Amino acid sequence: MNSTVAQTEAWNGLLAAFGALRSVHEEETCARYATLLKAFLGAKKAGAVRPAPHESIENLRLRLDEIRRGLSVVSGKRLQQLSRIVSDSIEGVRRREEGLLKGEAASSPRLNPWSVLGLASNENSHSDMLRWLFDRRESHAQGPLFLRAFAKALSEPLPETCFTEPYRVHREVSHERSRIDIEVLGQTFLLHIEVKVYSLEGSEQIVREAADLERKAAERGIARDRVRGVFLTRHGDAPQSGETTFKALRWGTVVEQLADAVGELRKQHPSNIHLPWLIERYCAVISEFSFS
């Protein structure tokens, strides 16, 4: 049983509560709790009330409890009835949560080291992970497999010959006007990646990074058609400055390319079970924040 199935009855109760709230004459109270319910259910537009696919059972229970506490202090028979509906939903979720945990005891399928360590939204942790994946000399022992996969996601992919030449991958590389999160420097190519999860672009940040990228490429004698700047964000947003040297890339696209790389890894090394598991857990974390 997955978390979405486990929450089915709770959705029914909440939809009933939402529908009833819309008929309450106390407009301020109605608007407050209708908004809360809609946000909780992951509504994308008016009338589209559905659970967010990444919503965990624990978050569901906590938010239901918040709604119940709010409704319990409001007078009126109708709102008291709504409070009971939500309370029943909480109890239903609790029972299903217990059943889900018992069913997962043998394999712990939702175990994720990034979530356990509180690193899911930490930009430095994501930058560190990408640096590790891209470095052909690292302990994953897969050479340029993951850098090649990432490069396929670019609007202008790097030539295949880039991945056969020596290259270095570094974090937090300082330049004249900026500091880039990830730098991949080869003999004939240069790749800069600015990593964003929830933080905003700094003032003229990408403008400064673009100038430093072009300057470094010129100093190294790297041809312009082998220079790439990537602005990696949850939704693939372009830089606010309008700078065009750094191309927008969505985290979800990175997940797709890493999944392909894992498939290739499994074909080549079927006995390697640890690395695919690690990368799939990492992709699960990305999916949580990139679709929120």
Structure-model confidence comparison of residues 150 and 49, the more confident one: 150
Q: Is residue 109 part of a domain?
A: no
Dihedral of the CA atoms 123, 153, 211, 180 (nearest 10)? 20
Q: Is 45 in the same domain as 95?
A: yes
pLDDT at position 24 is 45
Task: Provide the domain limits for residue 198.
Answer: 116-290
Say yes or no: 42 and 77 in one domain: yes
Averaged pLDDT score across all residues of the chain: 78
The yes-or-no verdict on residue 276 having pLDDT over 80 is yes
Same domain (yes/no): 99, 125: no
Q: What is the pLDDT of residue 66?
A: 61
Q: Which amino acid is at 239?
A: P
pLDDT at res. 115: 81
Q: At which residue do the structure tokens 């430095």 appear? A: 124
What is the pLDDT, as a whole number, of residue 14?
A: 55
Least confident range from 73-82, 244-253, 261-270: namely 73-82
**Does residue 110 lie within any of the structural domains?**
no
d(CA 199, CA 202): 9
50-101 pLDDT, tens digit per residue, is 444 344 455 555 666 666 565 555 555 555 555 566 666 666 656 666 666 6
Q: Are residues 89 and 126 in the same domain?
A: no
Q: Looking at the predicted structure, is the pLDDT value of residue 26 above 90?
A: no
40 and 72 belong to one structural domain? yes
How confident is the model over 110-118, as a mean pLDDT? 82
182 and 94 within one domain: no
The last residue of one of the domains, among 103, 131, 148, is 103
∠ Cα 7 234 252 (to 5°): 75
More confident residue, 91 or 156: 156
Q: Report yes or no on 34 lying in a domain.
A: yes
- In angstroms, the CA 54 to CA 108 distance is 17
The answer, yes or no, to whether residue 219 has pLDDT greater than 70, is: yes
**Rounded distance between C-alpha atoms, residue 34 and residue 103, angstroms:** 34
201: CB partners within 8 A, 6+ apart: 231, 239, 240, 241
Are residues 162 and 69 both part of a single domain? no
Among 50, 69, 103, give the residue marking a domain's end.
Answer: 103
Cα–Cα dist 125/287, whole Å: 15
State residue 49's pLDDT score. Answer: 39
Cβ-based neighbours of 200, under 8 Å, separated by 6 or more: none
168 shares its domain with 247: yes
Last residue of a domain, one of 53, 76, 103: 103
Strands across the sheet with 246-250, in order? 167-174, 179-186, 190-195, 227-233, 246-250
Same domain, 277 and 137: yes
**Domain membership flag for residue 111:** no
Global pTM value = 0.68
- pLDDT per position as a tens digit, 6-15: 444 445 555 5
Kindly state the average pLDDT of the residues 37-46.
47
128 shares its domain with 59 = no
Is residue 285 within 8 Å of residue 269, measured between CB atoms?
no
